[in-house]
Structure 1
Amino acid sequence: MSYYDGNEPGNIPGILPEASSDKGFYYWWTGGLLWGSMLDYRSQTGETKYDDLISQGLIWQVGENADYLPANFTSTLGNDDQTIWALSALDADESAFTAPPSDAPQWLTLAENVFNEQAGDGRRVDDGDCKGALRWMLYPFNNGYDYVNSGSNIGFFNLAAQLVYVTRNETYSDAASDTYDLLVDIGFITDKYQVYDGAHAEDCSSINKAQFSYTAAMLLQGSAYLYNHTDGDDKWKGRVDGLVDAILATFFPDGVAFEASCEKSNLCNTDMMFYKGILNRGLGATMQVAPYTAAKILPVLKTSAKAAVAQCTGGDSGRLCGFHWSTSENDGTSGAAQQLGVLSALVSILPQQAVAAAASNSSSGSGAGSSANGGSGSQNGTDSNTSDSNTPGSLGAKVSTSLGALVGALVLGSLFLA
């Protein structure tokens, strides 16, 4: 949070400061990721000291139409950017985070509004091999409007999957299933569960086969939610299993998170440095809603987290984290992306804490949406295996906030000493 200054006079709430490193700028979407990551931290630890900043940040950027499209950032807005913010609003709803003021759009409503806009034909390719797919950028004057990226479509898929988990409205399930099938048909998802970056709309057969961890992780996360929603349907279980294996093989060589398309060549830009955070969050969420996956995922996340922490020796404080984790030596880089990546690596391996005391002391999540596709907002569909003591989520509501914090401290202590 030391990188965030949006609460200071004259600065813009909700976003990271644009000034960054020689790698580029912090674009608008990274603010949405910041708040989603901090909500994860809050849910797993019970720490509520950042609640006002999280709430202010998520509300300030909702835009004029309650859809996370603020006019100030239209020149760089993509469908994937909008989805990151919508998913963070949904995180707030699912975790019973303090609701917005009663006269403001509620968390679930914000997520539904984004879904409804992206589900329409206006943002999609209308002919050719990519027909029906979301374009990357929103407007024809944006550079990238003619590109179809998997990130936008997978973000929409993940949003739909989480919305059906929350609302039980099958409209979302249908949209998610259709999107997955479309990505397979186009060739963005292979039969070996590789996830490719995208293609130009006018020649969708010429695919950019770069693989980024965040798209694979978000595809896995959405698939895990649908596995849960369908009570372990074989189709979704097969997809979850295939994606888990492919992700661990591609992005965790030697058991440590690695951004395969750019890290070895040292070509990762500022955006790409945030991907490890999304990777860890996606795997952590998968273990929550499909607990059987922890047998494969959790040992790798622990090994990776230990390596990540080992290189957090940079800066004047001797505690700043770099981007390269596999060397166990600090690479001299620093920034919000690097810190968020390691934070998410640590949070993803903590047992799930209900944080009942924190939730009961606040005006909890909205619990209802107002859009046409809205549902009850109640969270259902917990996997029957959540009592497995070897998986995150096993402690559930059995522990209080104070005990949860103690358990978390013990887990981290044992991790560092292992």
Structure 2
Amino acid sequence: MPVEPSEGLQILIPWLNINDAHESWLIDGPDFSQCHRQVTSLSPRLKLPLGDANRRRMIPRIRWPLFLVLVLYQSLHSAQAITLDVHNEQSIKDAASTAAWGMMSHYHGNESGQIPGKLPDTWWEGGAMFMTLIQYWHFTGDTTYNDEVTVGMQWQAGEGNYFPSNWSTYLGNDDQMFWGLAAMTAAELQLPDVKDGYSWLSLAQGVFNTQIKRWDTKTCGGGLRWQIWAYEAGYGMKNSISNGGLFQLAARLARYTENATYAEWAEQIWDWSASVPLLSNSSWNVADSTDVDNGCSTQGNNQWTYNYGSYISGAAYMHNYTNGTTSKWTDAVTGLLNVTLDTFFPAKYGGDVMSEVTCEPKQVCNNNEILFKGLLSMWLAFTALLVPATYDGIMPKLQGSAVAAAKSCTGNSNNTCGVRWYPNKWDGWSGLEEQMSVTSILAANLIAMKTDGAPVTASTGGNSTSDPSAGGSDSDADGETIPMAVTTGDRVGAAFLTLALVAVPLGMVGFLILT
């Protein structure tokens, strides 16, 4: 009886028959005495075309010379990693280009009949992907994908606030926020505004304006709920990525525009986060979520890279905005960074390779979680530029992770990248998210060569057009539109939620059910 696949040595070798080119054979058992053909799933999300999966047959013992030839053939055709020298600018650019090409092979929004900016089965990842491509262009100078970025981000803009009607009934605050951060990135990195379109800065302002209207002081004294609508699972939670993302967006708007109202909101969001179990300003733990039904007294404490990254990045922008004169932000950057580097760069993997520690060891990461490392990669890179004192601590981590990530890109004979970087080889997983994270970590290493790569402001070269009223605003007595100011009522919890945001969609849902 053949040894079960989980017990014996397994080697995939291509069946060298030009009429059956997609079949593979799995050799089971330490003596290689039994062979059968089967579907081999390299991950829950990837299945290779292996011909007739239901037909199993026995073949004679493979002789060692033939076996060695086949193994050599397999190694030559699947073990070519992305070449990378982290001390050579062109090498990094070439490596990032390879990973970015793999990422964009999953994007079809630029094809006839497809929807620009929309990815299959997900909306928020489109914002993350375009943000990655803007950062890639900024550091490499490669404009290959700029048209796709511009068209996709304008197409999904909705009414200038990334709340398009096609998706608005199921979006969460974090979904919308990622598109706002992508637009903010476009403004800061000087992607040209679109003639007769929304400016990048106005889109970021539109997201900010719509989200602060959802600031919920009726429960837990403030904070954004994870979900917008009461019928969505997660509406009863307030989570770190929604609040940390809005904190980051407010901090970036404050720095770019020098408008103190944005800075006041950043302060308020930070202080509220620290008043509930989401953020500890003593241990610098960042939890994932807290439950409204428990008065935000408990936490879901799964550790995720992007939660830490959102607060680190926002604190770095506030540190830079205040010219490093406020110990609150200096301490925040230092404390959060220390915990991030200790937690997500495990010593057992050498201490310099990033890992999504909550899901990678058991290989249970979902699509969302796979791209979190890419977000942290770039947020750390910009932190190093905004707070130069952090550069020496961050750079070795980016370099070590890039080297390992490049070695993971040996899949499918076309530099397909995996989820886990620390094995220094492909782990069999494949997808857009894997490519996105590797693109980010590779491009992030270019901060060593592009020391002037820090985000600009309106006074240091940024020329994206401002529209403080975008997406909704208040007006002062003179009719000038301004962002909603933080009032005393906000601080003590006297503000109200906009009931129409929930009532109208619920009425529509009820009508559809009844009819």
Structure 1 length normalisation: TM-score?
Answer: 0.81
Which residue pairs with 1:396 in the alignment? none
Unaligned runs of 5+ in 2: 1-103, 454-461, 470-480, 484-515
- Matched-pair contact (CA < 8 Å) for 2:277–2:290: no
1:5 corresponds to 2:97: no
- Matched-pair contact (CA < 8 Å) for 2:124–2:175: yes
Q: Which amino acid aligns with 2:175?
A: D
1:207 corresponds to 2:299: yes
Which residue pairs with 2:493 in the alignment? none
Per-residue deviation, 1:101: 2.1
Give the stretch that moved more between structures: 53-62 or 91-100.
91-100
- Matched-pair contact (CA < 8 Å) for 1:33–1:85: yes
Which residue pairs with 1:228 in the alignment? 320
Pairing 1:265-276 to 2, within 5 Å after superposition: 265-276=362-373
In 1: Cα distance, 2:445 partner to 2:425 partner: 22
Give the stretch that moved more between structures: 73-82 or 226-235.
73-82
Compare CA radii of gyration and give the structure with the larger one.
2
Pairing 1:247-396 to 2, within 5 Å after superposition: 247-253=340-346, 254-317=351-414, 319-350=415-446, 351-352=449-450, 365-371=463-469, 372-373=481-482
In 2: Cα distance, 1:89 partner to 1:161 partner: 14
1:238 corresponds to 2:331: yes
Per-residue deviation, 1:141: 1.9
Deviations, residues 156-205 of structure 1 (Å, cap 9, x unaligned)? 00000100110000111111111111111102112211100112211111
In 2: Cα distance, 1:365 partner to 1:314 partner: 42
Give the stretch that moved more between structures: 35-44 or 136-145.
136-145
Which residue pairs with 1:391 in the alignment? none
- Matched-pair contact (CA < 8 Å) for 1:321–1:339: yes
Which residue of the other structure, out of 156, 160, 164, is the alignment partner of 1:66? 160
- Matched-pair contact (CA < 8 Å) for 1:160–1:172: yes
In 1: Cα distance, 2:136 partner to 2:130 partner: 10
Pairing 1:16-165 to 2, within 5 Å after superposition: 16-18=119-121, 27-63=122-158, 65-102=159-196, 104-120=197-213, 123-128=214-219, 130-165=220-255
In 1: Cα distance, 2:117 partner to 2:451 partner: 26
Unaligned runs of 5+ in 1: 19-26, 356-363, 375-418
Deviations, residues 209-267 of structure 1 (Å, cap 9, x unaligned)? 11110010111011000000101122111110011101000111121111122111222
In 1: Cα distance, 2:299 partner to 2:189 partner: 38
Per-residue deviation, 1:354: 6.0
Q: Which amino acid aligns with 1:330?
A: W
Per-residue deviation, 1:271: 0.5
Query: CA 1:125–1:311 in structure 2 vs 1: closer, same or farther (change >3 Å)?
Result: same
In 2: Cα distance, 1:75 partner to 1:368 partner: 28
In 1: Cα distance, 2:134 partner to 2:303 partner: 27
In 1: Cα distance, 2:451 partner to 2:329 partner: 26
SS of residue matched to 1:338: helix
- Matched-pair contact (CA < 8 Å) for 1:311–1:330: yes
- Matched-pair contact (CA < 8 Å) for 1:124–1:131: no
- Matched-pair contact (CA < 8 Å) for 2:385–2:451: no
Which residue pairs with 1:168 in the alignment? 258
SS of residue matched to 2:166: helix
Pairing 1:387-406 to 2, within 5 Å after superposition: none
Aligned length: 352
Per-residue deviation, 1:125: 3.3
In 2: Cα distance, 1:189 partner to 1:8 partner: 43
Which residue pairs with 1:14 in the alignment? 117
In 1: Cα distance, 2:269 partner to 2:406 partner: 37
SS of residue matched to 1:148: strand
Query: CA 1:309–1:226 in structure 2 vs 1: closer, same or farther (change >3 Å)?
Result: same
Per-residue deviation, 1:365: 4.8
In 1: Cα distance, 2:435 partner to 2:119 partner: 13
In 2: Cα distance, 1:76 partner to 1:261 partner: 26
1:180 corresponds to 2:270: yes
SS of residue matched to 2:167: helix
Query: CA 1:180–1:165 in structure 2 vs 1: closer, same or farther (change >3 Å)?
Result: same
Per-residue deviation, 1:353: 6.8
- Matched-pair contact (CA < 8 Å) for 1:44–1:353: no
What is the RMSD of the two structures over their aligned residues, measured on CA atoms? 1.5
In 2: Cα distance, 1:126 partner to 1:164 partner: 23
Q: Larger helix proportion, structure 1 or 2?
A: 1
Q: Which amino acid aligns with 2:155?
A: W
- Matched-pair contact (CA < 8 Å) for 1:43–1:354: no
